[in-house]
Amino acid sequence: MQTQNAPFPLQQIIDEFGFEGEYIGYRVSNDGHINNTFVLDFKNADGSSTSYLVQLINTNVFKNPDELMENIVGVTGYLRNIVIERGGDPERECLRVFFTKDDKPYFRTENGECWRCYNFITGAHACQSIDDPKTFFNAAKAFGTFQCLLADYPSSTLHETIPNFHNTRSRFADFKKAVSDDLKGRAAGVQEEIDFVLSREGDTGILVDMLSNGELPLRVTHNDTKLNNVMFDNKTDEGICVIDLDTVMPGLSLYDFGDSIRFGASTAAEDEKDLSKVNFDIELYKVYTEGYLSAAGKSLTDAEIEYLPFSSKLMTLECGMRFLGDYLNGDTYFRIDYPEHNLVRARTQFKLVEDMEKQMNEMKKVTQEIYEKVCKQKRHTAWRVRAMLSLMDERQLRHSLALWTMKNSRFAPQPGSCEEAAFIKTYAVPQTRFERVNSAVSSNGRPLSIFRTVIRLADWQSRSGQECALVYLKAVETDTDSLGNTAEITLGYSIVSR
């Protein structure tokens, strides 16, 4: 522990976040390689100690810290309420953003540095490598739980902190430009690798097209599902909290799953030069898939389950073409230790892609077997409709409407204030008139109706001084019993615009 010459504005941090107690010292924690992170320790008057995680936001990567922190505050607040409702420990099972004396989620120093603070998760550790399949399984459960808990979070409210981060068609276009520009004259020497990527162009548009066609739901995604972004309990080794939420954005659940497999189901390091050591380990794929589906399986659609194996290949291909593209551009993005480092990395990814293609049928088979094993109860028709339409139940609707009201109404507490939890708990959905906008037949033959309603805030009611509105839908199924009696069953709600 260090106490002197702190590489951060200590007194300003204490003043801004209102830390109490006697400052003892700090520890460096920079596993993420993006933001500078420190753990600050304080001794309380009663002899106990409290630690805080203080972080310098890398504004070279995340150029809009306001949007970045708006994403994180929204997601962590949502998760925190769910953990509390489930009787969990919110100080260990989710991150909490500390607000400054000005009620902001970060502060900016005179020289432009942006500093934020989280709770420090005690009695837990991060892992840098998979020494035991159980670790991979527990990481999968943690990321699966993260996805499941956020299944009904309104992903459209999130900002893209890094635009087109996993848009594989856009990544392919970037790669083709790198080949065409050939800034360092390296293309001729790697034509075999270039052809490997170009021959798989058709793969790059499959998931993005399914998203645009409504075949896959837009969800809240982590986008950096590495092993060291899970905190494991020191006693049980269970994954208790997913961290590093800077890249939380709207996206596909398949991105997170596929990237975890790319990282964790390889038999060698990402920069192994001897490709004979690089193989796709389908046993580790089984381990991760079982852990992930045990937590997230019932919140995923049939299409998401079906494309889990393909997503593993696609995310590996994407990473490989990013490495190769950076090599062609002169190594301007990824940090390298020697001139061919990015080329070596690309080759390992392409070897994994080849292995996955050879084992794709087996991957599909075991995925379905695992799904049937860990999700034994067939999902009710109403749940299938919920998944298809991304519906939320009444409690989740009330929660989302409360968050929208706090953000927009000048009569409600601001997000992050001490009254937030109480406001959300007691929030009553405004009485509005529903209008039928669509009718259909559900998969079991019952009539299905979609109703639309609008909640409005007049200009004098809103924080911005301008009228704003939120539109949401209600899905209702009509059931008829053997005697001809009918009953309307509300399947759920969906916010469509705000």
Strands 36-43 and 447-457 turn out to be unpaired
Residue 273 one-letter amino acid: K
Share of the chain above pLDDT 70, in %: 91
Q: What does the pLDDT read at residue 69?
A: 95
SS3 at position 488 = strand
Reported as a pLDDT band with limits 50, 70 and 90, residue 439 is: low
Closest to 281 measured CA to CA, from 260, 267, 262, 291:
267
Contact status, residue 105 vs residue 99, Cβ threshold 8 Å = yes
Lowest mean pLDDT among 9-18, 291-300, 475-484: 475-484
pLDDT tens per residue across span 61-114? 888 999 999 999 999 998 998 888 788 899 999 999 999 999 999 999 999 999
pLDDT tens per residue across span 146-175? 998 898 788 888 999 888 999 999 999 999
Torsion 484-487-492-497 (CA) sign: positive
Share of the chain above pLDDT 90, in %: 57
Q: What is the mean pLDDT of residues 369-378?
A: 76
Residue 55, both tokens: 């972080």
Element (H, E) at 374: helix 360-374
Contact status, residue 143 vs residue 292, Cβ threshold 8 Å = yes
Residue 347, both tokens: 């080759």
Flag whether pLDDT at 385 surpasses 50. Answer: no
Reported as a pLDDT band with limits 50, 70 and 90, residue 386 is: very low
Residue linked to tokens 């083709």: 176
Flag whether pLDDT at 189 surpasses 90. Answer: yes
User: Which residue did the predictor score with more confidence, 472 or 416?
Assistant: 472
Element (H, E) at 354: helix 341-358
pLDDT tens per residue across span 111-136? 999 999 999 999 999 998 888 999 99
Report residue 155: phi and psi, to 5°: -60, -25
Residue linked to tokens 């292995």: 355
Mean pLDDT over each residue of the chain, to the nearest integer: 88
Flag whether pLDDT at 381 surpasses 50. Answer: no
Cα–Cα dist 280/62, whole Å: 33
* Number of other residues whose CB lies within 10 A of the CB of residue 149: 22
Flag whether pLDDT at 1 surpasses 60. Answer: no
pLDDT tens per residue across span 49-59? 999 999 999 88
DSSP states of 202-223: HHHTHHHHHHHTTSS--EEE-S
Q: What does the pLDDT read at residue 471?
A: 83
Q: What is the mean pLDDT of residues 370-395?
A: 61
Cα–Cα dist 467/433, whole Å: 19
Bridge partners of 479, per DSSP, are 487
Cα–Cα dist 397/415, whole Å: 17
